[in-house]
Amino acid sequence: MKVIAVTMLCIQLVTCSRILALFPHVGKSHYDVFHPYLKKLASRGHEVVVVSHFPQENPLPNITDISIKGSVPMASMQAISFKEVESLGSILNAVILSYLADLHCKSILSLSKVQQLVNQRFDLIITELFNTDCFLGLVHILKTPFIYFSSSVLMPWANDRIGNPDNPSYIANIFQSHSDKMSFLERLSNTIDTVVDKWIVYPLLFDLPGRSIVEKHLGAPMPSLCDIARRGSLILVNSHFSLSKARPLVPAVVEVGGIHIDAPPKKLPKVV
């Protein structure tokens, strides 16, 4: 009996979760960061339901694709260089992102297969942290815990929702080309851009329009999306201090830079 009792204490109970992954952005470079993480979750036995523009060509066990391919025109994502992004400035970049957010929200939330998700049950929701919070409407209706995944360094409006320090005197706005060692004028412009992005641009161009789109297509009254956004438990961010410079991070912000890099790396084709 003693042997049986000790053996029972050594047994670990394992339960698998049903996870909803919401990755609505039509950019393939974004999804390439998320996909390895989803595959690893599935390999650990979790049931993963993925809403994206990139359904699997070779379906993996435990991953169910809800394809939204074709719902957002790829012409909206024409190639643009980083130099062009920097030249536009923080405010204009945010305006362009708000246009894309509006396009994605209206196109995807109008799909019946997305609307039907409110009738299902999930243990966790993973959503992209980028240019819109309109898909947090599903979080609110389903009353499900959720985490974020960012395919780039954090947007100006991301830090406050998780209580992460964001000092513009040495933490450069993602839309600026500044380093962590800025002149007085660079710190001043960086501070102005960051404050405007966080407290004017995002609430007016992202939060309010997104909320009205959610209420229209999901048929439920919504609180401020900014309020829902503060309920997130974790941010996984595709950055690393060796490239994006050292900065303070709360435990709920975890850098996973390079998660999408194959090990061992694939060989380059002879013809590129």
What pLDDT sits at residue 78? 56
Q: What is the pLDDT of residues 209-243, one digit of tens each?
A: 999 999 999 998 999 999 999 999 999 999 998 88
> Residue 10: its pLDDT value, please?
57
DSSP per-residue letters across 190-246: HHHHHHHIIIIIIIIIIIHHHHHHHHHHH-S----HHHHHTT---EEES--HHHH--
- The reported pLDDT for the residue numbered 140 is 97
What is the residue extent of each domain of the chain?
17-255
pLDDT at res. 161: 94
- Fold classification of 17-255 (topology level): Rossmann fold (3.40.50)
pTM comes to: 0.86
Q: Which range (3-17, 213-227, 249-263) has the least confidence?
A: 3-17
Inter-residue long-range contacts of 82-88, CB under 8 Å, 24+ positions, other chains counted: 85/175, 86/175, 86/176, 86/177, 88/175
pLDDT tens digits, 105-164: 999 999 999 999 999 999 999 999 998 999 999 999 999 999 999 999 999 899 999 999
pLDDT at 92: 78
Indicate the average pLDDT of the chain.
88
